[in-house]
Amino acid sequence: MSRNAESTAFRSALEVIRAVEPRVADAIGAELTDQRESLKLIASENYASPATLLAMGNWFSDKYAEGTVGRRFYAGCQNVDTVEALAAEHARELFGAAHAYVQPHSGIDANLVAFWAVLADRVESPALKKAQVRQVNDLTEADWFALRRELGNQRMLGMSLDAGGHLTHGFRPNISGKMFDQRSYGTDPATGLIDYDRVAEAAREFKPLILVGGYSAYPRKVNFRILREIADSVGATFMVDMAHFAGLVAGKVFTGDFDPVPHAHIVTTTTHKSLRGPRGGMVLCQPELADQVDRGCPMVLGGPLPHVMAAKAVALAEARRPDFADYAQRIVDNAQALAEGLLSRGATLVTGGTDNHLVLIDVSGYGLTGRQAEQALLDSGIVTNRNSVPQDPNGAWYTSGIRIGTPALTTRGLGTAEMDQTAELIHTVLTQTTAAANSDGTPSKAKYALDPSLADKIARQATDLLAPHPLYPAINLT
Ligand code: DSN
């Protein structure tokens, strides 16, 4: 395909949008400029391919398609069936999964589908069997009341938030925490690593219905074989949320004990992080959970987004190409080079390094909170996000950490030498930023001081670093 075609496609699209609401066209153009000019180190972001982006902008968006392939609650879904079946087939082949459900709109949705599939399988189905009825509408009022209490009285064991777990793994501010009685496993305070003996002990004491593996801010591999053994030993269903590292699984960087798919009963993911697809979610599962997973819509999901499923099919086809494995390996090489660069300059990293796509800097060593560091870096053209560190004294809002990840810069083509230069920029900003005080003289967790001319200089250096690696090089909007 000619590179001109990509440019023409996006320019024409913007022309059509501009004729209706020019401010939207301007914002789309401005977003491209911003993404091109900043050093994007948000561990959960990436740049999808032009083909993936274009697959989302079309009339598939107009179609309702509740149900699953070949079994819809709406007529006229033959073309949606084509793209949904293709996306599911690519997902199954890519991950070696028995079943793939590609309708979830996000990671939260994928997790909700998974939780309710497990609850339906482990709690609802036995209750229906016991009452000798086929479906919930046939239960007596008393049996329905009892079942609802049972569904709302189950336990989940997942990784604690400050150790890198995710809000959707049973934490109170999220719906999962209101559904489940939740306990967490943390990490070893000395090493920052998961202590599997402690997880086994917590599982024995708590006896969860679901043991959750997976994280959004843990910079190491997880041994899913051991977690499955722990789940089996207490009769728990083992679920893994691989949203952050799905690209490393797809690219065969994580194999054997570190690939969750053969070990977990059910695996959830987003499609837009290291996997580099459109914003969305997905569930992979063992055959025994497939029927329940396929009930995701309308159980917890609104109507599927056929345009996004089309884009998932495109992105998953891209991830099946041999060069994706090379990309995935480069993500990790880059993260390790970034970690080395930071360590050699004196930064403190949670766990002392990384095995995956992310690095977690404990910025308290620079005398800053995560919030101060995040803003100072942003002033300097470096986009990161603040994140808790284990046993974080500053809580989840101010935090003591900065999470940085390499999937996006690796997509642009930056390599290990440039990661060392990136480490230099980050370290310079953090050493030159000072925590400031509130107007009453008390220490502020948000205010900071950084010489604006230094911030400008770093931002120019960041742009120079990116210049040899243009983002969407074929796309010229002017
Ligand atoms: N927002 C994603 C992340 O940044 O990790 C997950 O919620």
Band (478; pLDDT cuts 50, 70, 90): confident
The answer, yes or no, to whether the previous bond of 393 is cis (omega within 30 of 0) is no
In the prediction, which pLDDT does 4 show? Answer: 87
> pLDDT for 161-215, tens place per residue?
989 999 999 999 999 999 999 999 999 999 999 999 999 999 999 999 999 999 9
DSSP secondary structure, 247-301, as one string: HHHHTTSS-GGG-STTT-SEEEEESSSTT---S-EEEEE-GGGHHHHTTHHHHT-
Residue 1 has pLDDT above 90, yes or no: no
Band (302; pLDDT cuts 50, 70, 90): very high
> pLDDT for 360-396, tens place per residue?
999 999 999 999 999 999 999 999 999 999 999 999 9
Band (2; pLDDT cuts 50, 70, 90): low
Residues 166, 110: Cα–Cα separation, whole Å: 13
CA dihedral angle for residue 203, residue 151, residue 265, residue 403, rounded to 10 degrees? -70
Residues 213, 317: Cα–Cα separation, whole Å: 27
Residue 284 has pLDDT above 60, yes or no: yes
> pLDDT for 387-426, tens place per residue?
999 999 999 999 999 999 999 999 999 999 999 999 999 9
Looking at the annotation, which residues are catalytic?
Answer: 64, 66, 241, 270, 273, 279
388 lines ligand 1 (CB under 6 A): no
182 lines ligand 1 (CB under 6 A): no
The protein residue whose alpha carbon is closest to atom 5 in ligand 1 is 216
Q: How far is the CA of 108 from the centre of ligand 1 (A)?
A: 10
Residues 442, 434: Cα–Cα separation, whole Å: 14
> At 449, is the secondary structure helix, strand, or coil?
strand
In the prediction, which pLDDT does 106 show? Answer: 98
In the prediction, which pLDDT does 3 show? Answer: 66
Q: Is residue 165 annotated as involved in ligand binding?
A: yes
Q: CB-based burial of residue 421 (10 Å sphere; 0-12 exposed, 13-18 middle, 19+ buried)?
A: middle
Q: How far is the CA of 5 from the centre of ligand 1 (A)?
A: 33
Task: Fill in the amino acid letter for 95.
Answer: F
Task: Fill in the amino acid letter for 357.
Answer: H
DSSP 366: G
Helix (H) or strand (E) holding 238, with range, is: strand 237-241
Q: Is residue 112 annotated as involved in ligand binding?
A: no
Q: How far is the CA of 408 from the centre of ligand 1 (A)?
A: 14
> pLDDT for 64-111, tens place per residue?
999 999 999 999 999 999 999 999 999 999 999 999 999 999 999 999
pTM greater than 0.95: yes
216 lines ligand 1 (CB under 6 A): yes
Q: For residues 423-435, give the mean pLDDT.
A: 98
Q: For residues 268-277, give the mean pLDDT.
A: 98
CA distances from 369 to 14, 364, 373 (A): 41, 6, 6
102 near 278, Cβ under 8 Å?
no
44 lines ligand 1 (CB under 6 A): yes
Residues 300, 302: Cα–Cα separation, whole Å: 7
> Residues 367-370: contacts with CB within 8 Å, 24+ apart?
367/434, 367/435, 368/430, 368/433, 368/435, 368/448, 369/394, 369/398, 369/399, 369/400, 369/435, 369/445, 369/446, 370/394, 370/398, 370/399, 370/400, 370/401, 370/402
Residues 256, 201: Cα–Cα separation, whole Å: 24
334 lines ligand 1 (CB under 6 A): no
Could you give the count of Cα atoms lying within 13 Å of 235 in the half-sphere of its Cβ?
Answer: 5
The protein residue whose alpha carbon is closest to atom 2 in ligand 1 is 44
> At 402, is the secondary structure helix, strand, or coil?
strand
Q: Is residue 166 annotated as involved in ligand binding?
A: yes
Q: Could you tell which of 218, 273, 360, 387 is best to mutate to test the pocket of ligand 1, judged by most ligand atoms within 8 Å of the CB?
A: 273
Q: How far is the CA of 44 from the centre of ligand 1 (A)?
A: 6
Domains of the chain, first to last: 60-319 (3.40.640.10), 325-466 (3.90.1150.10)
68 near 298, Cβ under 8 Å?
no
CA distances from 186 to 168, 171, 252, 359, 443 (A): 16, 14, 27, 18, 30
Q: Is residue 161 annotated as involved in ligand binding?
A: yes
Q: For residues 307-313, give the mean pLDDT.
A: 98
Residues 25, 215: Cα–Cα separation, whole Å: 36
